[in-house]
A and B are shown apart, each in its own frame.
Chain A
């Protein structure tokens, strides 16, 4: 007799999406397609956005300030109770990598759509994660094994590691507070910046916890999507090249990476699986690596224990709905995942910012017309008549293209970028068009310094 596998509907019928904008809308779409009820939560500033209207139920949390709305755990849990939601999906950002919130969700008798709080904790501290990966046989960059708390210690550590060094906060994410130092004077400045960021975005009152790592000059940022299945196996679903960055934040991502050999890809995917296995990982996660483009070698950077902004490019080349997998895995459902990759996909983050200096440019959207057609997918958080406010990150939409080859994907990208019409807020579509004409990007031979070179 074959035991019937548990299905999502046996475990929960409704999901509260504890996020906003494009990712809330994208999660709601899959929740509803699976026949589940989607509950949105929102702040006063977001009341008119599509994700609020498209959810089966929407609950107002409070004012625009995230601390009084999206980051108020009590309000989010109360919304779950009031709506009868049985599971919570955190999206990315906000509570997605907050072990304490995950525990509170589980403690309230709800299903947490994400890895265990223990996995989040193990990977959340970058120094701990780095040491753990080293033990698991994943290559790591030369760097500090303990948090550095003052400039003198940083200078001593850097002398040992060798310049240039990357300076970052042990607990932070999203590139905030990160800097490169080429000498002692630069290090003092970078340390101060990182320390300020650490104090501001979640300081624990014990002085700044700063991490130093050997900096690779011509580096590509390449990450591996992993999925920890309900039966305990970990699979790698290809990689994403995220080397097009401004201020250490991603702008364009593509898969497969045009900058790694098949042999290097094989090693990276195998290492990512080991990384997931080392923490008994469940659900969707991303193992971020730095690739030395010249030496064709890589080191572990960090692991993101959540759905990634750029997950759609993986979905386009694998045909797998990662949100659906997250929901099924969280319910304990045994799923079959074929890790085969077909074709090429590129994502452009459409930000509300000026295309020259990349400074924020929020505002009311007077015209919003998305491109469509074969191989084009747009995940957007806004619509005509809505307003991009200064309270949240500048991501308005993700324009994704698919082609059988990179050349075909690039052709479709040029057409789609030209066809996308946004009037009102400043936007970086002109930058995307410029990037597509850039010889380095066109050939695929680029690194994380590309955007800075385009603006120098």
Chain B
């Protein structure tokens, strides 16, 4: 977009031109993007004149031009199109996206979307094409290695588990770093940990992220915290993942059918004993069918997609089934009113094996030498172990079932050409049932009860219903005044979520039933959270000569978690963006041939996290005890409790070289969590429980660099690579006078919060050699940061005509992790690797835990894939695409364990997740998948 430097001159010229060409006619039409969606704000200019206009919200425009004149349609992020005016008074234009990454188009959020070039914050994207070619069905796995500045660590290979997600470091000691997830403007359950009342499966955390609908995705946007999320509501400080689903495109119905077949093989690279794999692992198969229909006319567009997925995993036990249905609708209700609706259903069923910190876990028992040093067992002993393991395995019975419904309804009303109203209302309802059956047979196989026992079976059932309703109403005004352009958004939003967990346990039963009524003793427990959050927000984006943009915004936020003594929080944001290369002088100068685009940006913003519902209240508990009620103190209460506020300042530059074939983005950020929610230890002498308080301060500083390069850009060959590097420095600036406190792990080596250290750093007793055979033992030594401070992703994409080959990967380094399985092996006398001989046996291994801490660096290739499009060569089909992908094929790490997996260190109910403890759970498997997709 070129900028006219002299506005007054332009106006004068326009006046003159209008007089000169008096015999014009009025041309009108609609500008759409490559998907047929209307493009607002497209510049339409009669070539070689100053006569110009912009398309409105619906992509419609009118302009005066004479026959033979040339209309130039230009819009950032799209290729410019010239059209000659003919006899017709209608000129409809479809713009194709330009290749430049820098010029990525509008983002959603509050209001009707603002061009990315006008924003002072960064947003990471994943497009429909990218999503389609990735083999995964989980949002975390889709984003892993494909977003430049998110750190996504797969915590376990067990089905239904999900990743620990972070972007700009750990900002809170009271909640996980999981971003808010929004599907078509509606918040969805993002519980990325075991629920409060989870059954004791050991360690690997199940996650609601595993069943977030990822069907029919148009685009995923990952908006990091700070100023970018100020307007999103009270818990958006960890960032926001927005999923926008397809609503259909105009045209005849297009059917797609895709089948995917995969082989799933355990990742054995990290095992201490090959025999563990022999006992537990077995390659499995996955099969998936997807069916889609997409089409519509001017009035109504629709998109339907359904899929069925099933696999029997990489081991002898796990199985999972997914069923998805999604439907999207776009309707032009009246000239001024549009409706966009979406509905999705996800059904998910999987079973889990025991893992990590439970005596029932075979994996952690084998790997922790709980069954002895497997390498030293004789073949006969091993066969006995195998028989025992198989005997246990056949009786392990933990199943998870999820049924999730998500619905979004958006109404867009053009009040006039300049003002648009958007109203969104929607719900997410997720029902989760976990059932654990501890049969007599299982307990006998485990050796927990004597053979022949028939009356000690237990069934444990957790039912969790998470329901969220979201409503948003906002008005967007677009206006201009000479060289100033104004986008004004004013809105209000609320969401309300309820989390109801019910746990029922039956004890003393016989085998063969899960009917609680058949168990001689039954008990029940429940856990309820309810919160409402509401706020009003405004945003003003002022364009100056269409090169510089100033953003001013704020949100007044209130929520029911806050204590009675508190007021609504005002969260301001301000930003500035300067697209230097959009100046004419810049464009005309020679520099632009080399440095084709330059964008500078800076912003300040505040975003918050709130405490768990009801944590401000003083409460008492009534516990059943020996068949009677019993009172006790419960939460001490804190009427001053309020959300913690993350104050972020960031500066960034975006550079494009050689016609934007080489793009570079750099951001410096400083994010300080003020009034940080800490739960310091209460004075033991008070006899009262710990109370969450706003007493801490946490600081995150860092750099984010991303680079993309189109190494080859020709008609048939295209090769692009991308690479990102992020640095995060995390420090607990203050604990508000509270002593250090533990937020995960174990007594001998735990994850701690302490002034001057990183959040959740590892602490334990270390031993250092004095050189004379003696050792110095340092209790409470700082043994490393659980968050790798350096991380990034990389990728490669090559297309040759209809063949596409791609690779994605990620890496991290600089952090530490405890290999707990090694510690257990050592405690059991089975493994002294790397531990000095003169130390072993002289003292408890708990006095030299530093020998079990390793660098958590890794480089992992996540996906390698290829696909080939046959086009319409195969008869009746419009297109046939054959694809092949390998997931998790290669990795390089420090220790002989997977620094991603964690069977410990994740707090229940979205508690703090340090992930600093590799322990007792399987790594994500290797998956070889082929896909065949037909379109007709």
Chain B associates with chain A: no
